[in-house]
Amino acid sequence: MIKKNNVTQIKPGMYLHDNDGEWGGVILKYWDDSFSVGIKALDNQHKILFDTVAPLLESRGGAEGMITVHKTFNSLLDYADYHFKFEKELMASHHYPDAESHNKEHGDLIEELNSYYVMVEFGSLPPAQDIGRFLNEWVESHVLKADKELGNFLCQRGCS
Ligand SMILES: [Fe+2]
Ligand SMILES: [Fe+2]
């Protein structure tokens, strides 16, 4: 059973929860159209990113939980790297004027993701609220702002 802790809703559909105090996972609601940036390829990749985060929901404390968290961060880093390179090339090929700041945001996200990965690699679980804040920022500040702006720019040029 999922218990919301007192942080409750940090964005619609995303909750921190408390698995017997061992691991507060993050629930990212299933991707829906409100997350769309208007570009199919990017939406599909964002959906995969959401799916990649999902195993954190079921993770439990103990060795098994650590394996799940480790695998999840590993996959997330891999896929984020792929996705950010894809967006970088897209921006370059369309001479997107805000490419530099957009790529800088990607760099910051990778850096933070890496720091969590290193923690997990050394056997400690990152604090759930940090992970929650991080994922929240990724979605709210990046996908729903920077990626949507990129999507709008590309759509004006006839991308689909
Ligand atoms: Fe992006
Ligand atoms: Fe993106």
Q: What is the pLDDT of residue 57?
A: 57
Ligand minimally distant from the alpha carbon of residue 98? 1
Residue 5 CA: distances (Å) to CA of 15, 63, 87, 98, 146: 8, 24, 35, 38, 30
User: Which ligand is nearest the CA of 42, by number?
Assistant: 2
Do you know the residue count of the chain? 160
Digit-coded pLDDT (tens) for 74-92: 999 999 999 999 999 999 9
The Å distance, Cα 129 to ligand 2 centre, comes to 22
Report the side by side order of strands in the sheet with 26-28.
Answer: 4-11, 14-17, 26-28
Instruction: Find the 77 Cα to ligand 1 centroid distance in Å.
Output: 14
List the domain boundaries for the chain. 4-156
Structure tokens at 146: 């920077």
Rounded distance from Cα 22 to ligand 2 centre (Å): 31
Residue 131 has pLDDT above 50, yes or no: yes
Ligand 1 centroid from CA 27, angstroms: 21
Can you give the pLDDT at residue 55? 73
Ligand nearest to the Cα of 105, by number: 1
**CA of residue 145 to ligand 1 center, whole Å:** 9
CATH homologous superfamily of domain 4-156? Hemerythrin-like (1.20.120.50)
Residues 109 and 116: their CA atoms lie apart, in Å, by: 11
DSSP string covering 30-94: PP-GGG--S-HHHHHHHHHHHHHHTHHHH--SHHHHHHHHHHHHHHHHHHHHHHHHHHHHHHHHT
Question: What pLDDT, on the 0 to 100 scale, is given for residue 19?
Answer: 46
Q: How far is the CA of 64 from the centre of ligand 2 (A)?
A: 30
